[in-house]
Amino acid sequence: MVQKKRTSLLVLAMLLLISVFTVACGSKTNEPADSANTGSGNSADAGKEKVSITILSRASGTSPAAVAFQNLLKKFMDENPNITVVDESLNDENAFNNKLKTSLATGNVPHIWTNYGGEAFKDYAKNIALDLQPYLDEDKEWSGAFLPLLDTWQYKDLKGTYGVPSEFYSIAIYYNKELFEKIGMAPPTTVEEMAAVSAKFKEIGITPMAIADKENFRGGHMLTNLSLKKFGQAKTEALVSGEAKWNDADMLSLFQLMKDWQDAGILGNNIVTTDNNAITANFIAGKSAMLYEGSWGISQLAESAIADKIGVISFPAFADAPDTKDLWFGGAGGYSVSKEAKGAELDAAVKLVKYLTSVESFQYYLEFTKGGVYPVKMTVDPAAVDPVTQAFMAAQNTASGFKGELYAYDPIAQLQDKVRNEIQGMFAGNSPQKTADAIQSFIESNRK
Amino acid sequence: MIKSPLRIAIYAFAVLCAVVFLYPLLFSFQNSLKDNTEIYGDAVFSFPSDWLWSNYKQAVVDGNMLWAIFNSFFYAAAGTLLALLLALMASFVLSRLNFKFREVIYLYFITGLMIPVFSLMIPISRLIGTVNGFNNYFVLIILYAVIELPFAIFLISGFMRGISKEIDESAVIDGCKPRTLLFRILLPLTMPAISTAGILAFFSIYNDLIWNVLLITDKNMYNISMALFSFVGQYGAVQMGPTFASIMITIIPTVVVYLLFQEKVENGLSAGAVKE
């Protein structure tokens, strides 16, 4: 009996200890109780008052860019001991979207979050994002350094700017110089040359330009590139206004071209089930002559064994469309600030956004990652960056402008998924006509 | 001793099964020592040309994998224990005592089985937000336990109903209190169901991703699923070598648990299959 009591007491004591331990471990990063928002809006107070702000970006994990981002946050907190930054960043797209949507639905909007602007962001701009225009007007040194990308967060029928760029991306083609020397041809500048070059590579058993549409944004990116090169931004605008249709002769010709490339083996095998790791590895291993990839791929390629053999070209243009040959598909991702932030929290959030998007911070990114392209005007010492970045920047300098994805300008938010899924379906076996018709009928049933 | 052809065929089939089940482990181990170029190369079945043990170092140092394993184990063990304790007590009341609304209360608990976890994301996040419960071990363990509770109650109370009530009556006549009846008499008899519920709850919590994504931002509190994201890039580029190394490291505890409780796992899986 005594033994039983002792055992019971011991178990209870252990439970109590565990409870105390777990409670003690909890809420380490939550707001301290005394940091309640006063709503004063007084910047002078912000210098003294302890505040905690949250940021939800895509920069987490162990990639050089993510580590640089984390280092910058630490540096910011060291310089501003009254501000605690809670980093909620998630690199995985699904996890990020789940987290963001749940945060919005529960009213726990992060003070700062990453997004890609455009029409898809318009509702956020109307309802939860802060207009940053007054801050941009107030600090010309900060706002003047940005490349012309602020229109990503600007709308014709909504005054203001609801985000600032934190990353700049564009899509190009990386190519293996050695393999091109092998076939004795120059990298393709036009779609017509692409076919000729590809035929040569097929002869020697090299895949011309494998793409991985398992992450189905790549098919959408390819269609955008082709459309910009062939018809320019006018086609995008016509599609949005309804003047042009997704299944008209122009668009059908682009779908058909993609299908022809697939059938000719230019885009590799098993497009729908292959992921980007596989095609990048094949490119590095010399099994694929070209890699159709964004600027975000630079760091991985720069670390590879063939870094000094990699060249970069613009996406091939159309011989019969010389006026739009230098138009690139590219854009920006950036930070928005929550409207909910008030007083010292708001001041801290704006301060952090300014800090993370300053020229100095992008210089730090450049030095830390030894490359990359950034959304601000800054002097880059060619010797300080890797050869792949140099090649990319040289190619990018030929661009006459950068435009977003075809559907990024459309008010139908679900159009992006629809187009990408349909293109994936086309690579899986659907005809170009069926693909184009499915997109057009979706538009017609959703157009307000 | 000459083996019969049938016996040889059985052994051959068993070996084939073993190869099929063990190959993924070997595949993961091989790839944990390669880089992306080699993993995606042609020689899928080959051993690494250069044994990259540094992938394991990356998994432990950069991915914080050991800490993540501890967290997953802690969440799973504590959540499972709490769920089993609550389920055992609830099952006792629901299966051994007669009172008004018993079936209604039982149905109330069992309804939890029919609610998809994704429909709970927003209300639970909101609830936890209001009590400032993000990044809190205690809150997370209670949440995990509660999520596992309906199935544990369903399993344990179902099993308990099959135990003769005469045992209770005899125990009460001998002066046995309800607590003693439950923990000293019924608990050992219910062990197969408790083991099954415990094993399923443990692995369900151990493999959780969604609640860790939503409720945890402190990297020191990440579980395995979250820590595995460490090697994923923003646009789908994954360092597969360190990822496989992490997977190998995370497999070890589950293998140990399985070997320790092998008999219980196997008995638990067949519990209730045969009326004894």
Q: What is the pLDDT of residues B176-195, one digit of tens each?
A: 999 999 999 999 999 999 99
- In the DSSP assignment, the letter for residue A119 is G
**Residue-level pLDDT, tens digit, chain A, 448 residues:** 555 555 555 554 554 445 444 444 444 333 333 333 333 334 444 456 799 999 999 998 888 889 999 999 999 999 999 999 999 999 888 889 888 988 888 888 999 999 999 888 999 999 999 999 999 999 999 999 998 899 999 998 899 999 999 999 999 999 999 999 999 999 999 999 999 999 999 999 999 999 999 888 999 999 999 999 999 999 999 999 999 999 999 999 999 999 999 999 999 999 999 988 899 999 999 999 999 999 988 888 988 899 999 999 999 999 999 999 999 999 899 999 999 999 999 999 999 999 999 999 999 999 888 888 899 988 888 777 889 999 998 899 899 888 999 998 888 888 999 999 999 999 999 999 999 999 999 999 998 6
Interface test with A, best of B228, B234, B238, B243 (most A CBs within 10 A): B234
Report chain B residues whose CB lies below 8 A from the CB of A295.
none
Does residue B122 carry a pLDDT above 60? yes
pLDDT of residue B74: 95
Nearest CA in chain B to A95: B213
The predicted pLDDT at position A242 comes to 93
The one-letter code for the residue type at A323 is D
The minimal CB distance from B129 to the residues A108, A280, A282 is found for: A108
> Which of A34, A53, A106 should we substitute to test contact with B (largest number of B Cβ atoms within 10 Å)?
A106
- The answer to whether B240 contacts chain A (CB < 8 Å) is yes
Contact A180, A390 (CB under 8 A): no
User: B79 CB near a chain A CB, below 8 Å?
Assistant: no
Give contacts of B228 with chain A, Cβ < 8 Å.
none
- Binned at pLDDT 50, 70 and 90, residue B1 comes out as low
**How far away is chain B from the Cα of A372, in angstroms, using its nearest Cα?**
14
From A87, A66, A186, select the one nearest B219 (Cα to Cα).
A87
Tokens of B88: 């055992």
* CA max distance for chain A: 96
Burial readout B203-232 (b: 16 or more C-beta within 10 A, e: otherwise): ebbbebbbbbbbbbbbbebbbbbbbbbbbb
- The residue of chain A nearest to residue B215, with distances taken between CA atoms, is A99
Cross-chain residue pair B237–A276, CB shorter than 8 Å? yes
| pLDDT of res. A37 | 35
B78/A contact by beta carbon, under 8 A:
yes
B118 confidence band (pLDDT: 50, 70, 90) = confident
- Residues in A closer than 8 angstroms to B77, CB to CB, are none
Please, which pLDDT band fits residue B204 given cuts at 50, 70 and 90?
very high
> Model confidence at B272, in pLDDT bands (50, 70, 90)?
low
Q: How close does chain B come to A59, measured CA to CA in Å?
A: 7
Average pLDDT, chain B: 89
- Residue B237: which of A102, A106, A280 has the nearest Cβ? A280
Q: Give this prediction's pTM.
A: 0.77
Contact B223, B137 (CB under 8 A): no
Judged by CB atoms closer than 8 Å, whether chains meet at A98 and B213 is answered as yes
8 Å CB contact of A18 and B230: no
| CB nearest A99 (choices: B40, B214, B230) | B214
Choose from B217, B220, B232 for mutation: most chain A CBs within 10 A. B217
**Would an 8 Å CB–CB cutoff place B218 in contact with chain A?**
yes
Distance from CA of B173 to the nearest CA of A (A): 20
Mutate to test the interface with B, among A3, A22, A273 (most CBs of B within 10 A): A22
- What pLDDT was estimated at residue A38? 33
Q: Pairing mode, if any, of strands A83-87 and A401-403?
A: unpaired
Residue B198 sits at φ, ψ, to 5 deg, of: -65, -45
CB contact under 8 A, B125 and A102: yes
Task: Evaluate if residue B150 carries a pLDDT over 70.
Answer: yes
Residues of A in contact with B237 (CB under 8 A): 63, 276-277, 280, 296-297, 300
Which residue in the set B36, B126, B210 is minimally distant from A106, CB to CB?
A: B126
Task: Note the pLDDT of residue B252.
Answer: 83
A89 within 8 A of A60, measured Cβ to Cβ: yes
| pLDDT (mean) for B200-225 | 92
Least confident of A6-20, B134-148, B159-173, B193-207: A6-20
B-chain residues near A300 (CB < 8 A): 233, 237
Residue of A nearest to B133 (CA): A27
Residues 138-167 of B with CB under 8 A from A: 138-139, 141
pLDDT in tens, B45-54: 788 888 899 9
Put simply, whether B80 touches A (Cβ < 8 Å) is: no
CB contact under 8 A, B141 and A22: yes
For testing contact with chain A, the best of B54, B65, B86, B235 (most A CBs within 10 A): B235
Centre a 10 Å sphere on the Cβ of residue A110 and count the other Cβ atoms it contains: 25
| Tokens standing for residue A170 | 């564009």
Q: What is the pLDDT of residue B260?
A: 80
Whether the CA torsion A132, A137, A139, A143 is positive or negative: it is: positive
In this prediction, residue B211 carries a pLDDT of 94
Task: State the Cα–Cα distance between residues A302 and A438, nearest whole angstrom.
Answer: 40
Of residues A34, A58, A131, the one with CA closest to residue A350: A131
Q: Which residues contact B159 (CB under 8 A, 6 or more apart)?
A: B190, B192, B193, B271, B272
> Which pLDDT belongs to residue B270?
61
